[in-house]
Amino acid sequence: MKKIVALILLATAPAGFAALADLQPAITAALAEELEVEGGELVLTSVRPLPKVEVPYDFPLIVKITQVPTQGLSAFMTVKFSVTVGDQPRGEHTAFFKAALMREVWVATKLCNRLATLDQVSIKRKKVNVINLHNGIWEGDKLTDELQIIQAVTPGTVLQPRHVRRRPVVLRNQTVQAVIRHKALHIRLPVMALEDGAPGDVIRLRNPKSFKEIRGTVVNSDTVSVKFISPNGK
């Protein structure tokens, strides 16, 4: 069964008067609940004038979303809703909105150079519209030298996960020591890193003698841990 969200407002007009209710706040609140908007403030701007509804003093105004936008939350939405005053239906309507999702996020205030650590770049918390950022927003709260910018970020850009990574301590084409432990066996041999890696990352490695590719977990800037694999594969 389709979920219907109702928002009930009480008119605030002197006794004996009927107020012309502005439906936009009610539609915004009902739509935000229907779309389960979290972590931001939904702001709607009607493209066309909304209907005005007379609401007698102390009568509840009920707005129900009868059909949510087919494309979900987006910059432009068509919304169908019904209006009831007290127990009297006041019709169903279709409205067209320009939408914004306002949220406090990290924004570059100056050019952030590639591979710069977050404690060296100029970024600031700002409340901006993020409705078109479909690839997510970087949620970090610690600007440390353990994190770095992957690519240059221009001023005014909202920081996203694709912009930030943990700072690698092992770099591609670097020779590191692979450590293999199995019971009393302890082997160290030089291998070449085939990709960058931060502590805890599993990266591809190559044995320069056999040219065999293996995988290991980065320990520090010159050591990776490689799991022992017995001849029978166990």
One domain for residues 153 and 185? no
One domain for residues 10 and 52? yes
Q: What is the pLDDT of residues 64-79, one digit of tens each?
A: 999 999 889 999 999 9
Domain hosting 33: range is 6-101
In a domain, 94, yes or no: yes
Please identify, among 166, 198, 215, the residue that sits at the C-terminal boundary of a domain: 166
In a domain, 182, yes or no: yes
Measured at the CA of 146, the angle between CA 224 and CA 152, to 5 degrees, comes to 110
In a domain, 45, yes or no: yes
Q: What is the pLDDT of residues 118-144, one digit of tens each?
A: 999 999 999 999 999 988 999 988 899
Check which CATH number belongs to the domain holding 128 and give it. Answer: 3.90.1210.10
In a domain, 233, yes or no: no
Q: What is the pTM of this model?
A: 0.74
Cβ–Cβ under 8 Å, residues 216 and 205: yes
Instruction: Give the 3-state secondary structure of 131-152.
Output: CCCCCCCCCCCCCCCCEEECCC
Phi then psi for residue 159, to 5 deg, are -70, 130
One domain for residues 108 and 155? yes
One domain for residues 39 and 97? yes
Phi then psi for residue 204, to 5 deg, are -85, 140
In a domain, 232, yes or no: no
In terms of C-beta distances under 8 Å and separation of at least 24 residues, what long-range contacts does 124-127 make, across chains too?
A: 127/102, 127/103
Check which CATH number belongs to the domain holding 179 and give it. Answer: 2.30.30.760
